Amino acid sequence: MVRRSQHDVDADAETALERALTSVLGDAARVERGQDPGPDLVVTFTDGSTVAIEVRAVAGRAEPGRLANALSMWTEQLDGLRGLTKGGIYGVVVATAVPEATKAILRANGWGWFDRRGELDVRVPGLIVHATDVGGSTDDEDRTPRDPIRGRAGISAAACLLLEPNAAPGVRAIARASEIAPSSASTAIADLRDASLLRADGGALLPELFWALADAWKPKRHALEEAPMPGGGARLALGLSDLDTPGWAAGGTLAAAAWSASVVVTSGAAPDFYVANEAEVRAARRELHGTVQADQRACTVAVAPTILVVRPRYPANAMATSWLEWPVVHPLFAALDLAQDRARGVEILEEWTPPAPFTRVW
């Protein structure tokens, strides 16, 4: 495969965005290439008003860590171009895929994006567009990238590497810790390597691997009318006597609070539990009465995306939440839960470093 130059990537991205905007705007506007040293594209509406756009191309997935590192320089260049042309110019990132965490970063900094799988989002003065199933790809590349972290094996492999960020656990160690087949672990590691989410020595590339895992982190939560009682519930295997074995563990904001994150929780907050398997979820819904009314929930329960979430667990009453009688998950998994809130959750993560000996990987 011939590697394309950055000039070719940039030109292809400009063409793709031009086609996408033309497809969405139709007869309402004309989209044309700008003139040097001006913007890449100019959108001219039927009333004569214009919007100028500068394109920044990413070859492949726009991973949030790398994007965040580049964005300050791109914004500075954009400000310089505005000063040179004495006009308003707005930035749009074009990439083969734009993960949710990256979208949050772009939105917070006033940038738009075109995810070439079909989503266009541009919200600037004079032009507000959000559309899905948008065309605009050229014919020289496959625009259907495979997600680098897929299924339980992919999640487990990524989590193993993030739990040991200063090491590079091998395939057999990952398979053994995660209770997955070595062949599945090997495939998952190969996918991470192909996506450039590993260092040269095979360890986790930070924070890119964390944010890629956050995109794949989608536990299915079930609301329950009652919360389990520690020491009670004979038909529920809570596993509170041995925290080194799989059992119930609190995640989300309660776990983050236990590890000293800047979140506000009270002693009456409804726990978000993780359990080891679907059988335990079914037992919990039967014994504690599942509900679809969110305001009636006493807790939620979800199958852990990887067994690593519920083994080992940590005693929260020995930490910042002395009142919490439930064990909590590792800081990594609390951080992944927080990362699902692309606004406040990401802000909390920016300010939170877990206590030693745990390492911040976001």
If 0-12 CB within 10 Å is exposed, 13-18 middle and 19+ buried, where does residue 73 land? exposed
Q: What is the pLDDT of residue 234?
A: 55
- Looking at the predicted structure, is the pLDDT value of residue 137 above 60? no
Residues 6+ apart with CB under 8 A from 157: 149, 174, 178, 185, 188, 189, 192
- Looking at the predicted structure, is the pLDDT value of residue 293 above 50? yes
If 0-12 CB within 10 Å is exposed, 13-18 middle and 19+ buried, where does residue 263 land? buried
pTM, two decimals, is: 0.70
- Looking at the predicted structure, is the pLDDT value of residue 139 above 70? no
Of the candidate ranges 38-52, 231-245, 335-349, the one whose mean pLDDT is the lowest: 231-245
- Which residue would you say has higher pLDDT here, 268 or 203? 203
pLDDT band for 154, please (50, 70, 90 cuts). very high
Q: Which residues pair with 323 in a beta bridge?
A: none
Query: What mean pLDDT comes out for the span 238-259?
Result: 96
- Looking at the predicted structure, is the pLDDT value of residue 189 above 70? yes
pLDDT band for 95, please (50, 70, 90 cuts). very high
pLDDT band for 135, please (50, 70, 90 cuts). low
Query: What mean pLDDT comes out for the span 116-123?
Result: 92
Query: What mean pLDDT comes out for the span 2-30?
Result: 85
The rounded distance, in Å, linking the Cα atoms of 176 and 164 is 15
Q: Highest mean pLDDT range out of 60-69, 235-244, 269-278, 315-324? A: 269-278
Query: What mean pLDDT comes out for the span 307-322?
Result: 92
Percentage of the chain exceeding pLDDT 70: 94
Q: What is the pLDDT of residue 96?
A: 87
The rounded distance, in Å, linking the Cα atoms of 326 and 83 is 57
> In the chain, what is the greatest distance between 2 CA atoms, to the nearest angstrom?
74
Of the candidate ranges 13-17, 43-47, 242-246, 320-324, the one whose mean pLDDT is the lowest: 320-324
Residues 6+ apart with CB under 8 A from 147: 215, 216
Strand ranges in the chain using DSSP code E only, listed in sequence order: 29-33, 41-45, 50-61, 89-97, 112-115, 119-124, 127-131, 222-224, 249-250, 272-275, 299-303, 314-315, 327-328
Q: 89, 16, 97, 29: which is closest to 54 by C-alpha?
A: 89
CA distances, 195 to each of 68, 175, 275, 305, 356 (Å):
18, 20, 30, 21, 30
Of the candidate ranges 25-34, 107-116, 188-197, 353-362, the one whose mean pLDDT is the lowest: 188-197
Q: What is the pLDDT of residue 141?
A: 45
The rounded distance, in Å, linking the Cα atoms of 85 and 336 is 43
- Six-digit token string for 38: 């001006």
Count the neighbouring beta carbons within 10 Å of the beta carbon of residue 88. Answer: 13
Structural domain 6-131, CATH architecture: 3-Layer(aba) Sandwich (3.40)
- Looking at the predicted structure, is the pLDDT value of residue 212 above 80? yes
The type of residue at 10 is D
Query: What mean pLDDT comes out for the span 274-289?
Result: 95
Instruction: Round the average pLDDT of the chain to a whole number and report it.
Output: 90
- Six-digit token string for 121: 């989002």
Could you state, in order of their start, the residue ranges of all structural domains in the chain?
A: 6-131, 151-216, 222-351
Count the neighbouring beta carbons within 10 Å of the beta carbon of residue 77. Answer: 13
End-to-end CA distance of the chain: 33
* Cβ burial 39-61 (10 Å sphere, 16+ → b, else e): bbbbbeeeeeebbbbbbbbbbeb
- Which residue would you say has higher pLDDT here, 30 or 231? 30
